[in-house]
Amino acid sequence: MPLHFLRWTLLGLIGLATTTTVGCTRWIDVIPSSTSQQESVAWTIPKAERVSFVMDTFRVLQNGAPQNPSSEMERRILNTVQETRLFSTLVPLGGTGASLGEKVVTARITVEETIDPHSGTAAWKGFVIGASMFLLSPVLALDYDYAAQVSLELERWDGQVKRYETRSAGTVHYQVFGATPIMISELKGQVTEAWLTDLMDQLVRDTGFYLASSTPLPDSPSLTVTVTARKPLRSPASLSVLPVSASPVR
Handedness of CA 164, 73, 113, 230 (dihedral sign): negative
Amino acid at the residue 106: T
- Please compute Rg for the chain using Cα positions: 25
- Shortest Å, Cβ 4 to other proteins: 7
134 binds other proteins (CB under 8 A): yes
What is the footprint of other proteins within residues 157-196 (CB under 8 A)?
174, 176-177, 179-184
7 binds other proteins (CB under 8 A): no
> Residues near 152 by Cβ (< 8 Å), separated by ≥ 6?
107, 108, 109, 163, 164, 165, 199, 203
- Shortest Å, Cβ 22 to other proteins: 16
- Shortest Å, Cβ 216 to other proteins: 26
Considering only 10, 14, 48, 131, the residue that binds other proteins (CB under 8 A) is 131
68 binds other proteins (CB under 8 A): yes
Minimum CB distance to other proteins smaller for 40 or for 71: 71
51 binds other proteins (CB under 8 A): no
By the 8 A CB rule, do 101 and 63 touch?
Answer: no
Tell me, rounded to whole angstroms, the distance of Cα 58 from its chain centroid: 12
- Shortest Å, Cβ 154 to other proteins: 16
3-state secondary structure of 162: strand
> Residues near 3 by Cβ (< 8 Å), separated by ≥ 6?
none
Contact residues toward other proteins (CB under 8 A) are 1-2, 4-5, 8, 12, 68-71, 74-75, 78-79, 82, 89-95, 115, 117, 119-120, 122-123, 125-127, 129-131, 133-134, 142, 144, 174, 176-177, 179-184
